Structure 1
Amino acid sequence: MIHANTDEAWLPLYEALASPVRLSIINLLAGSLMNVKELAESLGLSSAIVTMHVRKLEKAGLVQTKMVRKQGGTHKMCMLAERSVSIELPAHAGDSLKVHEVSVPVGHYTQFEVFPTCGIATTEKMVGQFDDPRFFLEPERMNAGILWFGKGYVEYKVPNYLLAKQRPVALEIAMELGSEAPGVNDNWPSDISFALNGAEIGMWTSPGDYGEVRGRFSPVWWHDRVNQYGLLKVIRIQEDGSYIDGQRMSGVGIGDIGLARNHWTFRIGVKEDAVHVGGLTLYGKGFGNYNHDMVFRVFYEDSPNG
């Protein structure tokens, strides 16, 4: 389930749904897996036009593709990536919940352990060289807009601006993510895990490393056949558990992660013993399709006993 709101970052989703053709594609894929040629025949359109529509649905996280053995050959098949979409409208002015928001650039990690293939870049140039983890210590990495690695993790310290009288109700973390394949590969699953303050909050399997078309905000100098964009994912930790795009990841709730401290520690990575060790690409401002860094939002209410 995709859990969206009125943030501009969700515009690609709403744009993808604002088309009779793309809605027809979603309806067709709800019935069975189909390749572009089959979709084109069903819709009475050219394969080139259908390919364009499928890519918009992929960017929105509604459709994914993978190679499937069929009728003695291997075919690139399209399928639905999600079962539903929910849209959260802004809270009414009278609602009690308030929010603190912090934006954290992808290069502001405080600890890491990464393995090739790996790299880091600003919107102007590569930081160091490809596949050399030593450059993850380069001071210029603080300006990075993208980083990637084959396995390992990066860890961030996030300031906690809650006051003693403010009780946290939920925490949301929004970021653009993808796998990390040698080159690019839309069918390259990777089990990406998340931890907060040492508590494992869950795992999400990224479908692939997207690069067949350029990212909306890819710098001009950025090569065509490398990581271009990911999928916008929103993690929400609330009282009854942890969710990603509304889909439950674990039973770790807001009361289990120790938010009563001056800062929080967020770790994201790919474990060596994961089922799918397909790497990780983290997109920040100036890269990908959403043009923003990682966003942390803590929702709180004032305690009557504060």
Structure 2
Amino acid sequence: MKRIPPARLQETAKALSGDLRLRILETLGDQTMSVTELMAALGAAQPTVSINVQILEQAGLVTTTPGSNREKRCTRTYDSLLLELPRSPGEALHEREEISMPVGLYTDCSVLPPCGLAGKEGLLGCPDDPRSFFLPERSEAELLWFSESGYVEYRFPNPVPPEVELKGLRVSAELCSEAMGFHEDWPSDITLFVNGCRIGTVTPSGDYGEEKGKLTPSWWLYGTQYGNLYEWDIGPDTVRINGEEADGPVLSSLGLHYHKPILIRFEVESDAANRRGLNLFGQGFGNHAQGIKLTFVK
């Protein structure tokens, strides 16, 4: 029997919510099977079985070991689960709650050409046409860019109930400046705003294109390839940017409210000393497999 604490309830419930995943657990029973054997037993394709096995493994309901020819052997971990329901506010939350936002799901923007959007398989809309930033398919973007000054803004939900003390808020994203093609020596001042509060500025040294991004699709042959990963950490008393203390508003100044969205804006200000646009990378471009990550520390 496995005890599931309140902080693991959602993860476990999601793993058990799929019909195929329940069938995998049922098929495994008290035996170990390979992914190929599961495919044959369930009549499902290999990628589908592998993805669902991975979800069960992440929830601790299945364990895998290497078999012959490097194929995974899958074993059901438990026969019974004891679900412990939360008894007090915040007990069902992890110490850290993360929300990852796709870069194309901005709710407001102001951009200047050259600008554009790219998805996993190709460009979205017309390059260098700001109207493309308002197309519905912008939600599929894995890379966006604009020149000179401008911004993109996102709305995040607040998962932390008002009776739970929030100890920190962290924002991270992969960013670089924007030049025609690319330019390694092309600094741009990119500022993070949270709920309208100016948190702090980072200055990527260029628009990086000499080396291929680790995640950048093969069809993207020329131009910007990757950025730098930046993290703004807003605490009760200090603000840190990539671990270095910086001047900025503290947590209590942000006006966070359980029933209101949290506005996250990346902006190159019109009066910035280095006003050279930005590239913002999603989980399918650049060097870091993430979108815009907002972390709540309780």
TM above 0.5, yes or no, is yes
Among 268, 271, 274, the residue aligned to 2:272: 274
C-alpha distance in 1 between matches for 2:175 and 2:280: 5
Paired residue secondary structure (1:154): strand
Conserved in 1, the CA contact under 8 Å of 2:162 and 2:258?
Answer: no
Conserved in 1, the CA contact under 8 Å of 2:161 and 2:258?
Answer: no
C-alpha distance in 2 between matches for 1:201 and 1:175: 14
Paired residue secondary structure (2:131): helix
Conserved in 2, the CA contact under 8 Å of 1:176 and 1:290?
Answer: yes
Give the letter for the 2:193 counterpart.
A
Among 89, 106, 110, the residue aligned to 1:109: 106
**Aligned length in residues:** 204
Conserved in 2, the CA contact under 8 Å of 1:171 and 1:254?
Answer: yes
C-alpha distance in 1 between matches for 2:135 and 2:240: 34
Paired residue secondary structure (1:164): coil
Paired residue secondary structure (2:249): coil
| Deviation for aligned residue 1:164 | 2.2
Q: TM-score under structure 1 normalisation? A: 0.65
Aligned position for 2:180: 182
Among 137, 148, 159, the residue aligned to 2:145: 148
Give the letter for the 1:238 counterpart.
G
Greater share of strand: 1
Aligned position for 1:211: 209
Aligned position for 1:160: 158
Give the letter for the 2:171 counterpart.
I
Deviates more, 1:260-269 or 1:279-288: 260-269
Aligned position for 2:14: none
Structure 1 stretches of 5 or more lacking a match? 1-95, 301-306
Aligned position for 2:295: 297
Aligned position for 1:250: 247
Identity %: 40
Give the letter for the 1:159 counterpart.
P
| Deviation for aligned residue 1:293 | 1.0
CA RMSD of aligned residues (A): 1.4
Judged with a 3 Å threshold, the aligned counterparts in structure 2 of structure 1 residues 265 and 236 are, in CA distance, closer, same or farther, namely: same
C-alpha distance in 2 between matches for 1:243 and 1:298: 15
Give the letter for the 2:135 counterpart.
E
User: Does residue 127 of structure 1 match 2:127?
Assistant: no
User: Which structure has the larger Rg over C-alpha atoms?
Assistant: 2
Which structure 2 residues correspond to residues 46-57 of structure 1 after superposition, within 5 A? Answer: none
Aligned position for 1:66: none
C-alpha distance in 2 between matches for 1:230 and 1:186: 11
C-alpha distance in 1 between matches for 2:248 and 2:132: 37
Among 190, 193, 210, the residue aligned to 2:191: 193
Conserved in 1, the CA contact under 8 Å of 2:159 and 2:258?
Answer: no
Among 90, 95, 98, the residue aligned to 1:98: 95
C-alpha distance in 2 between matches for 1:142 and 1:120: 10
| Deviation for aligned residue 1:251 | 3.2
Conserved in 2, the CA contact under 8 Å of 1:240 and 1:251?
Answer: no
Structure 2 stretches of 5 or more lacking a match? 1-92
Give the letter for the 2:196 counterpart.
G
Aligned position for 1:16: none
Paired residue secondary structure (2:203): strand
C-alpha distance in 2 between matches for 1:104 and 1:144: 11
Judged with a 3 Å threshold, the aligned counterparts in structure 2 of structure 1 residues 104 and 97 are, in CA distance, closer, same or farther, namely: closer
C-alpha distance in 1 between matches for 2:142 and 2:212: 15
Conserved in 2, the CA contact under 8 Å of 1:176 and 1:283?
Answer: yes
C-alpha distance in 2 between matches for 1:120 and 1:249: 32
C-alpha distance in 2 between matches for 1:298 and 1:256: 16
> 1:13-40: per-residue Cα shift (whole Å, max 9, x none)?
xxxxxxxxxxxxxxxxxxxxxxxxxxxx
User: Does residue 138 of structure 1 match 2:135?
Assistant: yes
| Deviation for aligned residue 1:260 | 2.0
C-alpha distance in 2 between matches for 1:99 and 1:144: 27
> 1:183-231: per-residue Cα shift (whole Å, max 9, x none)?
111110000011000111111111110000110111111122x110001
| Deviation for aligned residue 1:157 | 0.1
| Deviation for aligned residue 1:97 | 8.1
C-alpha distance in 1 between matches for 2:264 and 2:176: 18
Aligned position for 1:265: 263
Judged with a 3 Å threshold, the aligned counterparts in structure 2 of structure 1 residues 105 and 190 are, in CA distance, closer, same or farther, namely: same
Q: TM-score under structure 2 normalisation? A: 0.66
C-alpha distance in 1 between matches for 2:130 and 2:168: 35
Give the letter for the 1:209 counterpart.
D
C-alpha distance in 2 between matches for 1:249 and 1:227: 29
Aligned position for 1:70: none
